[in-house]
């Protein structure tokens, strides 16, 4: 495919535009409804990908209020951006960490493959969340059975070849430690929707919502995020995390300010070969909505400008990139 073809190809994404009321008295324009467009040809090679990545977006706004709007976007990334139903903390963080990684993983549908650490973390998350909503009534043996079920499900068909016995030992050390269990039992909720509580909010000037899911929303309104780690979570490390700001912003947007800026990281830390402990790190944030709105706006502007290859991350992020994405990145970089 010739580069000129990509630059000249256009499609129209036609959406219905409405307004979503905001708690601050203003309005946030929202994109809703279906989309019609003339599909672009598939990329033939890395050069075509590079051309599409460098193509700028051209917007033409043809309506107000409930009128129909037509958005003209150039290149396949324009199609993807305007078809994006929402943003999230993870997608924005990846974009800010490495625009190239964000572009490649989404264009080619490449995701980080499952590994044993993630499988263990997923299983522990689900067991804790189940017990939080049921009031921690399960016996030690039932907890073991729950973990086995969730661990197998996390690995799926790869369980037999990929699971490790030490993760069973880690979990067993956790549930047989009375101090750890005493702390875990302090987390309880009254309603099932306080587990994986969905949050949604709009940043001013960004037409799609930001969504997220809180692991546990306590009865006192303080959100909790469960972390599994092999290294210590210090207060400084917790304060550097931006994810709490998104959750606090979502709760505030929903009219729930009971948290007063407080956030808890519930840390399940592996120690040595078969020991595991649990502790919590609580932090208090300020100006969370303003900080998040600024981050989301910058991310959306970067998506519109499509500057994936002209912006280098401040710290190389290749180590976090799936092998297939690294291969594609190298091909595009080496193309003239």
Model confidence pLDDT, tens digit, residues 5-34? 222 222 122 122 222 222 222 222 222 222
CA distance 30 to 66: 10
Helices (H), 189-322: 235-240, 243-253, 288-305
Which has the higher per-residue pLDDT, 7 or 244?
A: 244
| Mean pLDDT to the nearest integer, 258-278 | 95
pLDDT in tens, 32-57: 222 222 222 233 333 333 323 322 22
**pLDDT tens-digit map of 90-139:** 999 988 888 888 888 888 888 877 899 999 999 999 999 999 999 999 99
> What average pLDDT does range 175-188 have in this prediction?
94
Among residues 187, 199, 157, the alpha carbon closest in space to that of 266 is found at: 187
Which CATH number describes the domain made up of 116-291? Answer: 3.90.320
Q: Which residue has the tokens 């809703």?
A: 32
In this predicted structure, the answer to whether residue 65 has a pLDDT above a threshold of 50 is no
Region 52-80: what's the mean pLDDT? 33
Q: How far, in Å, are 29, 125, 262, 328 from residue 205 at the CA level?
A: 8, 35, 27, 33
Question: Which tokens in the block code for residue 192?
Answer: 């099932």
User: CA 113, CA 123: separation in Å to the nearest integer?
Assistant: 16
Nearest to 19 by CA among 72, 63, 58, 50: 63
Q: List all residues 6 or more positions away from 284 whose beta carbon is below 8 Å from its beta carbon.
A: 260, 261, 262, 263
Contacts 24+ apart (CB under 8 A), 158-164: 158/114, 162/114, 162/116, 162/119, 163/116, 163/119, 164/116
Which tops the pLDDT comparison, 94 or 313?
A: 94
Instruction: Tell me: pLDDT of 315 over 70.
Output: yes
Rounded average pLDDT over 242-251:
97
User: Is the predicted pLDDT of residue 142 greater than 60, yes or no?
Assistant: yes
Please report, for the chain, the start and end positions of each structural domain, with discontinuous segments joined by +: 1-83, 116-291
State percent of the chain over pLDDT 90.
55
């Amino acid at each position: 495919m010739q580069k000129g073809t990509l630059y000249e190809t256009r499609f129209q994404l036609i959406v219905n535009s409405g307004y979503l009321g905001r708690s601050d008295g203003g309005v946030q324009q929202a994109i809703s409804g279906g989309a019609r467009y003339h599909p672009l040809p598939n990329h033939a090679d890395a050069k075509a990908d590079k051309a599409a990545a460098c193509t700028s977006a051209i917007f033409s706004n043809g309506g107000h209020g409930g009128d129909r709007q037509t958005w003209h976007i150039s290149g396949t990334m324009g199609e993807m951006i305007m078809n994006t139903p929402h943003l999230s903390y993870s997608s924005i963080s990846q974009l800010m960490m490495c625009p190239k990684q964000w572009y490649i993983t989404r264009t080619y549908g490449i995701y980080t493959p499952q590994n044993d650490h993630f499988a263990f973390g997923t299983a522990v998350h689900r067991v804790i969340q189940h017990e939080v909503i049921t009031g921690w009534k399960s016996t030690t043996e039932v907890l073991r059975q729950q973990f086995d079920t969730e661990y197998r499900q996390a690995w799926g068909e790869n369980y037999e070849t990929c699971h490790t016995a030490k993760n069973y030992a880690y979990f067993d050390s956790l549930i047989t430690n009375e101090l750890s269990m005493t702390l875990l039992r302090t987390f309880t909720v009254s309603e099932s929707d306080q587990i994986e509580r969905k949050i949604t909010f709009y940043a001013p000037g960004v037409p799609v919502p930001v969504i997220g899911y809180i692991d546990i929303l306590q009865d006192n309104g303080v959100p909790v995020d469960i972390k599994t780690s092999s290294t210590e979570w210090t207060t400084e490390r917790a304060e550097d995390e931006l994810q709490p700001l998104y959750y606090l912003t979502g709760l505030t947007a929903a009219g729930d300010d009971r948290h007063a800026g407080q956030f808890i990281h519930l840390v399940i830390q592996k120690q040595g070969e078969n020991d595991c402990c649990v502790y919590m790190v609580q932090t208090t944030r300020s100006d969370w909505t303003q900080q998040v709105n600024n981050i989301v706006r910058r991310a959306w502007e970067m998506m519109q400008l499509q500057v994936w290859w002209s912006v280098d991350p401040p710290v190389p992020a290749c180590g976090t990139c799936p092998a297939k994405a690294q291969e594609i990145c190298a091909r595009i970089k080496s193309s003239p």
